[in-house]
Structure 1
Amino acid sequence: MTEDLVEWDKEILDDICNKRDKELIQQVHIPIRKRADSWYRLFSDTGKFTVRSCYRMIKGENECPDRMFWNKVWNLKLPGKVVSFVWRMCKDVIPTAVNLISKRVNILDICAWCQTATEDGMEGLISVMPGETVMQVAKRFLFAGSKKQGSMFGMICWALWYRRNKLIWEKMIVSVFGIKSMALNMFSDWRKATEVIEGSSQQQQQKRVSLWSKPPDQWVKINTDASCDLAGGVTGLGCVARDDRGQFLRARINKVQVGYLPKLAEALSMREALSWTKGWSSSKCVFETDAKILVEAINADKDNQGCSTFDCIVDDCKELIKHFEEVLIVFTPKSANSVAHLLAKGAHSMSGLQEWICTAPDLIICNLTLKAN
């Protein structure tokens, strides 16, 4: 660790650590001011033991390697009953013959269609490769395909289950072409209905949308944001400073080779913005972020009693604030923080730390047009 720069010595880590250990070490936050060492519970937001955090750890809810997949499932643009079915299908908790028998329901485990194979999951209703699960098929459609293809996959799976239930309960055979037509029509009708509702709500939102506004006279406004890529193990940090006339002053981006969660990434972005700004301005500064929980934590009157990584970064922010004559930490909606967001996203394609003075980078020029409230 290089104490002067308060960061890990990357050359030493490269020499003595393997890739896994290096990534884990770099995730450990080094506070700006010295703190006494303390025990920290990894699976708790506060770093302290709670029964809830213990229960979630036992149930495996904290690790959840498929979190991105489940987020995609629940964000499918489909009727609620279809989304719920896709989730139950991937969890293998739909009432197939094998699942019902496991619940002590006295039935045969024979497939209703072929009358020979065992009905275990949706594998008999959709085409899967040998040794492949339905969840793996769903991942293929949701990650590799477009949003529309992912939604159509969920709708057709629900229609196939509907066809299976028609046969079992009503002895009615629905053709595959009929099921495909029903799924397409239902998907089309549902999209048209939601587009009408979303269209009216978007018009109302456009009236309420918040735009970036100039700071008070003789003040400087710094907007910060972060962009997380958990799968790629990269976090982009961006901040931009403008004066009381709305004119561009400076911008800075940094790429961190660690996939932080959004909450930590936003806090880290604010800390870097404070540290960066105090090097060239210590007078009147307004710092804006779209992370409300971070703003509340920094502006809290009581001392931070937590020992989590987030709490350590918040303490660092409070320590850095002492270097300014006057400073405000303010929440702003995402619509008013678009320039900082573009910088944070652009950091993913950059080699590392970059800074611009007086002349704005190309990726934000179009968005720097002042549209004050």
Structure 2
Amino acid sequence: MALESKHVDIDVRCPWCHSEIEIDVHVMFLCNFAKTVWLTSGVSHLVECTTSDLPFQILTRVFENGTRDQWVEISMICWSLWNRRNRWVWHRVNGSVFGVRHSAINLLAEWKEAQVKDEYRRLRGELGRRVWCPPKEGWMKINIDAALLLDGSNGVGAVIRDSQAKFVGARGRKIAGAWKPREAETMALKEALSWVMAEGYNPCVFETDSYELATACNGRPGEAYFETIVMDCIHILKHVCPVLVDFAYRSANSAAHVLARAVYSMSDIGEWGVTPPDFLTHALDLDLN
């Protein structure tokens, strides 16, 4: 079946099954391809319908009978089905059932991650604070920094505090080699991530005064060796959940900076718990004023 508009044939049949008129309820729920997608999802019982149903009615039933997680999953599948239809109609790019489900799963994962970040940022306020502030209830904040030492090596430090601004722990060490500042900052994050994962602290937020590092960890990696270390950090981040990496100005990251510089006088790794070292006490007190 086709309609003619300005001498152009327009096929009104479904581009997938070619047997039914392409209406929204057919594309999203009744086409054999769509039915197969829903059957693989585990929520097909919530979207059962007939040709007389409108998508609005179907989704209303979903909201009445499903859970919040099911609402979100169904929304993502609908979007992936519609996107698959458009890609085929306009670009002749086909998509499999697996591809549609994979797209929906990725969208769902990204949405959940965005919710965690948005919730934290609403409680935290502006991005990139100029003064230190504690994390939200139940979270740990880990301030990290790196410093070039007099002997040409780099010191890296991490300071952990809880939502009551109470000192939890600190760790610093010297790293040999002539590192560029952004690479040294990334090594500081990698060291801190490994430490925090071993200690089992989560959820947590890492703060760095390297804007480039923070943005790279949130989806915009840099180049060459810097990118390699960032990808190592991102791999570790996947095992510490939920976790955030945020930018903070140097004035809000002073404790980690003091620790990174103090590493110069250490012969080995320095690690403290419960009670901070004397050289760190003043910086911690300043953050509370």
Number of the residue aligned with 2:165: 246
In structure 2, what is the equivalent of residue 316 of structure 1?
Answer: 232
One-letter code aligned to 1:221 = K
Cross-structure match for 1:341 = 257
Which residue identity is paired with 1:323?
Answer: H
Counterpart residue number, 2:140: 220
**Using the alignment, how far apart are the partners of 2:237 and 2:200 within structure 1?**
12
In the superposition, relative to structure 1, how do residues 292 and 305 fare at CA in structure 2: closer, same or farther (>3 Å)?
A: closer
C-alpha distance after superposition, 1:316-365 (max 9, x if no partner):
11001111221010000000100000000000111121111111011111
Is 1:295–1:330's contact at 8 Å kept on the other side of the alignment?
Answer: yes
Which one of 252, 275, 288 corresponds to residue 359 of structure 1?
A: 275
Unaligned runs of 5+ in 2: 1-128
SS of match in other structure, 1:368:
helix
1:324 partner letter: V
Q: Matched residues in 2 for 1:295 and 1:254: separation? A: 21
Aligned to 1:368: 284
Q: Is the 8 A contact 1:283 1:325 kept in 2?
A: yes
Indicate conservation of the 8 Å contact 1:295/1:331, yes or no.
yes
TM-score (norm 2): 0.53
RMSD: 1.9
Report if aligned partners of 1:282, 1:323 keep a CA contact under 8 Å in 2.
Answer: no
2:189 to 267, 270, 274: 270
Q: Partners of 2:264 and 2:161 in 1: how far apart?
A: 23
* Preserved contact between residue 250 and residue 355 of structure 1 (Cα < 8 Å): yes
Using the alignment, how far apart are the partners of 2:226 and 2:185 within structure 1?
Answer: 10
Contact 1:214 1:372 in 2 (8 A): no
1-structure distance, mates of 2:252, 2:229:
24
One-letter amino acid of the structure 1 residue matched with residue 195 of structure 2: W
Cα deviation, 1:105-158, whole Å, max 9, x if unaligned, reads xxxxxxxxxxxxxxxxxxxxxxxxxxxxxxxxxxxxxxxxxxxxxxxxxxxxxx
* Partner SS for 2:184: helix
SS of alignment partner, residue 160 of structure 2: strand
Structure 2 SS opposite 1:323: coil
Instruction: Show the counterpart of 2:179.
Output: 260
Kindly indicate whether the alpha-carbon contact (under 8 Å) linking 1:240 and 1:251 is maintained by their aligned counterparts in 2: yes
The whole-number CA distance in structure 2 between the counterparts of 1:268 and 1:242 is: 20
Is 1:283 the counterpart of 2:202? The answer is yes
> How far off is 1:282 after superposition?
4.3
Q: Pick the structure with more strand per residue.
A: 2
Q: How does 1:184-223 map to 2 (within 5 A)?
A: 210-223=130-143
Given that 2:216 and 2:222 are in contact with CA atoms closer than 8 Å, whether structure 1 keeps it comes out as no
Contact 1:211 1:372 in 2 (8 A): no
Q: CA deviation at 1:280?
A: 1.0
1:1-373 aligned at under 5 Å gives the runs 210-229=130-149, 232-300=151-219, 306=223, 308-369=224-285, 371=287
Q: Retained in 2: the 8 A contact 1:228–1:261?
A: no
Would the aligned equivalents of 1:242 and 1:248 in 2 still touch at CA under 8 Å? yes
1:218 is paired with a residue whose SS is coil
Partners of 1:321 and 1:347 in 2: CA distance: 25
Rounded Cα–Cα distance in structure 1 between residues aligned with 2:214 and 2:146: 14
Q: What SS class does the counterpart of residue 245 from structure 1 fall into? A: coil
Is the 8 Å Cα contact of residues 237 and 253 (structure 1) preserved in structure 2? yes
Q: Distance in 1 between matches of 2:279 and 2:287?
A: 18
Offset of residue 233 of structure 1: 2.1
Amino acid at match of 1:253: G
Q: How much has 1:281 moved relative to structure 2?
A: 2.2
State percent identity of aligned pairs: 40
State the Cα distance separating 1:225 from its structure 2 match.
0.2
Paired with 2:251 and 2:222, the residues of 1 have a C-alpha distance of 33
Aligned residue pairs: how many? 161
